[in-house]
Amino acid sequence: MAINVNTVYTTVLTILNKEQRGYLTPFEFNNIANQVQLQIFEKFFEDYNQYIRMPKTNVEFASRMDHIREEFQLFEKTGPSITIPAGGAQTDNIYNQPSDLHRFGSASWNKGVNSPPIEILSNRDYNQIKLSPLTQPTNNFPVAKYQQDKLTVFPDSTPYASSDVTFNYIRKPDLVRWGYYVGGLGQFLYDETVFGVGLLNFAASILPSISPNLSVTAPSFALTVVEPGVTTGITITKANAAATGLKLDLAITLGSGITTLIVSTPGTGYSVGDKITFAGSTFDPDGGGTGVPGPDAVCTLASNNFNGSSTYGSTDFEISDSMQTETILEILKYAGVVIRDTQIIQAASQELAQDELNSKR
């Protein structure tokens, strides 16, 4: 189970005794948290290498090797090469590694029987094996040179396809993000919705994106707009026909028009430029007392209404919760640098050093 980002942030703030969040802002925390997650993630491989060389135990729950494998198995992936050129067809025997590859593990050649593993050779070794007919690479015994994030696979066998090569590799963890919105008192309030660049901001007002507003003389009322099944008089024009699930909390006030327009459910598939239209003939049929229906009120979604251009949306740590203590201590160590408190740095560093010593015994 992954570490909850809000649990870590609130714990760090409690330990620092900065309840007003004036010394470790969300921006600072997010940067430190990502550095710490990557640092712990890279340490998995060093620990794994060391545990391989240490005396082992097969006792359930006590095997260090099993534990460390559990830690990085989440990041292990198997996938095809990227087509060259990007979006085009494979035209030669040079295969790009997957875009999210962080540590190369192995590769297999899908043109051979049972997809044999590809032996990675240096340029010198390859030049030596191709001199003899007995050691020439074949589809069942393929070799490759690994240079500039590409595999040059032999034999040079046509036709080519990006699916010829399957990579087994480790990807990097996703970026940690403590998302928030600003409360009425200027405080940072945690947004627990999962971050997505193209997701609308949860519980955020999109009223500033509306123009013109209605000048209704009808009584005030409130309602919830739901798509699909949009309320009469409201239409949603969207670039992606599959976009769905949007819910809005709407309030119309006598003499003021639309006074509340809040995203209560972000839905999926919406994009910048999509329009939510409130028909004047429905909501302002007398045009403010003129007898002529008022103009339509149109809300045009802007970039700042989406997670990608705002502080909304959160992403938890991807490392498991067994690393929570170490994560908090590491963040405290860096936080001590930010707030210039040497005692915090020393205390966190000593605790981490002792923990490291115990784990290597």
Q: Per-residue pLDDT tens for 22-40? A: 578 899 999 999 999 999 9
Q: Per-residue pLDDT tens for 133-158? A: 888 999 999 999 999 999 999 999 88
Please give the mean pLDDT across all residues of the chain: 87
Question: Helix axis angle, 26-52 relative to 64-72, nearest 10°?
Answer: 140
Q: Per-residue pLDDT tens for 291-325? A: 788 889 999 999 999 999 999 999 999 999 989 98
How many C-beta atoms surround the C-beta of residue 191 within 10 A?
A: 23
Burial (Cβ within 10 Å: 0-12, 13-18, ≥19) of residue 315: buried
Nearest 10 degrees: Cα torsion 122, 127, 132, 135: 20
The DSSP-derived string for 131-150 is TSTTS--BTTB-EEEEETTE
pLDDT band at 19 (very low <50, low <70, confident <90, very high): very low
pTM of the model: 0.81
Q: Give the Å distances, CA to CA, from 224 to 73, 253, 261, 304, 358.
A: 44, 15, 10, 22, 57
Nearest to 324, CA basis, from 361, 360, 347, 355:
355
Q: Per-residue pLDDT tens for 324-334? A: 989 998 898 88
How many C-beta atoms surround the C-beta of residue 189 within 10 A?
A: 13
- Domain ranges in the chain are 5-73+323-359, 77-171, 201-306
The DSSP-derived string for 2-25 is BPPHHHHHHHHHHHHT-TT--SS-
Q: Per-residue pLDDT tens for 65-122? A: 888 888 888 999 999 988 776 677 888 999 999 999 999 999 999 999 999 999 999 9
